[in-house]
Amino acid sequence: QVQLVESGGGLVQPGGSLRLSCAFSGTVFSTMGWYRQSPGRERELVAHVTFGGGTEYVESVKGRFTISRDNVKRTVYLQMNSLKPEDTAAYYCNSVPLVPGYWGQGTQVTVSS
């Protein structure tokens, strides 16, 4: 059974940092990504990382977010720096391309003063 468990979200002031973690089990994903969704907006793939460590980012987070993975620990991370109010969303990890049945509970990130 595939499980994805996200953690690390919270409330942070603009300019602050958070580190999200996604522990996965049941399979090994070739490419994993962090997605986010906020009310009234479509779900967005923020960043993804290949099994070998290659990364790509959506333009709005380039230079601020860093995605990484530990294949031994089966965990994917998202280091978020210089956070902005528009980064507020529920963040989820999933395969890329996503598999609808693999969504976890997500972790909420709120950037507000």
Tally of CA atoms within 13 A in the half-sphere of 101 that contains its CB: 3
Six-digit token string for 29: 């994903």
CB 102 within 8 A of CB 4: yes
32-70: per-residue pLDDT in tens?
Answer: 999 999 989 999 999 999 999 999 999 999 999 999 999
4-43: per-residue pLDDT in tens?
Answer: 999 999 999 999 999 999 999 888 889 999 999 998 999 9
What pLDDT does residue 26 have?
A: 86
Q: Hunting for tokens 């969303």 — which residue is that?
A: 89
Amino acid 75 reads: T
State mean pLDDT over 72-85. Answer: 96
